[in-house]
Chain A
Amino acid sequence: MSNVILSVMRRDLLIARRRQVEALLPLGFFVVSAGLFPIGVGPEAHVLRQIAPGVVWVCALLAAMLSVTQMFASDHQDGSLEQMLLAPQPLVGVVLGKVLAHWLSSGLPLVVAAPLLGVLFDMHAGSIAWLAFSLLLGTPILSLLGAVGAALTLGLRSGAALVFLLVLPLTIPALIFGTGAVLAVDGGQSPQAHLSLLGALLIVTALGAPWATASALRISMD
């Protein structure tokens, strides 16, 4: 199984590297959309600091959804997905490989770019570090849940919009605990409780979502 995870992941990363513009689009969306807030809200430092965790997290959610809709679409179009379903290897391995590749190519860049936005919102150095860490735990959840949505809406005409509607409500717990951790640090408390819950959420999602995705893919291809 680890073989199939690795070979799918390597292939998807290779494709992402060859389609750099497409791969960097979510990152661009993340930075630009979050960057609009200081301009729109005004330069009040304490207001910006207060809304920063929420704004950065919501923009990360939207950026992740933007790219996740494409996770299976092109493989569906050119027949690769059929071959993945027919392979003797477990389909869950294929799904995990694709989710890992998606996270590495579009989730991790968001984590790396988050401190930059933290500076833009005049956040304290401590809060910035915890913001990045909460996103590090949170973005894989987004990739995992997004995969379920993408698999369910495969082949539908307005699939991309449906993914947003299906998956965004499911990401609310991650949003609450992710922003909660940073707000706790701002308030002088420990972020540990929030982060533990976020970590637990990640584990539960990682245990359930790949199987749900695999079943959804089988149904979509029937």
Chain B
Amino acid sequence: MDKWEPKSRKEKFRQRALIVFALALMVWSALAIDVQWSTMGGLSALGDVIGSFFPPDLGYVPSLLQPAWETFEMAIVGTLAAVVMAVPVALISAKNITPSKTIAYPIGRAIIVVSRSIHEIIWALIFVAALGLGPFPGTLALGFRSIGFLGKLLAEEIEGIDEGQIEAMKACGANQAQIILFAVLPQIKPRIIGLTIYRWDINFRMSTVLGIVGAGGIGYEIQSAMQRFRYSQASSVILVILVMVAIGEIVSARLREQVT
């Protein structure tokens, strides 16, 4: 009699082996990070700490509006500056239109890798060390990380565009710059806008912690409140961040709807 099974025995075995392997990996990792069960008893203290955050000191909120607004501005300026820089980086990092595969392309890819592999916090530490405290180094940190993100995704988008439009512009006698203006940018424009909004959303959330390393914004407030053991003030900062991120989420969702 003919029989049909969705999965062969061999495949079933392979699947089970994979599950066993994953479990083994988990156990091994738990041992490797050296979980200290003995200190888990101290978890009851966590309750006390959390308790001291309540109620939030709402009288503190008005003095947070200025740093909150600063955070918002850092995200906008950092993101927009990054877009302006990321478009040329994407243009040289896309295989199909790069002016030179041996020089420009590796430079573009290197910019993307360096930008992406260094975290915002580390960028912020570097710029704070170089430029001092304040929102400017924080904005630079957001921008420098975003160039790689935007550059990489835009380069991928360019690699997927309709080459026929480029061919048509070439055939008209358009130069390289005109080909980019007429055949490349119109095709990636919606993606530029979409990614900018998305990245702004990320940067906005990220900029709330940059203050912890002294790079401006509302993060500094949480840092100073915690250091002074003013937990009820810290909780009002967290509350403000929560509201800000929620607003940011709504705004970016609305904007993205407009684009598509």
A and B form one complex: no
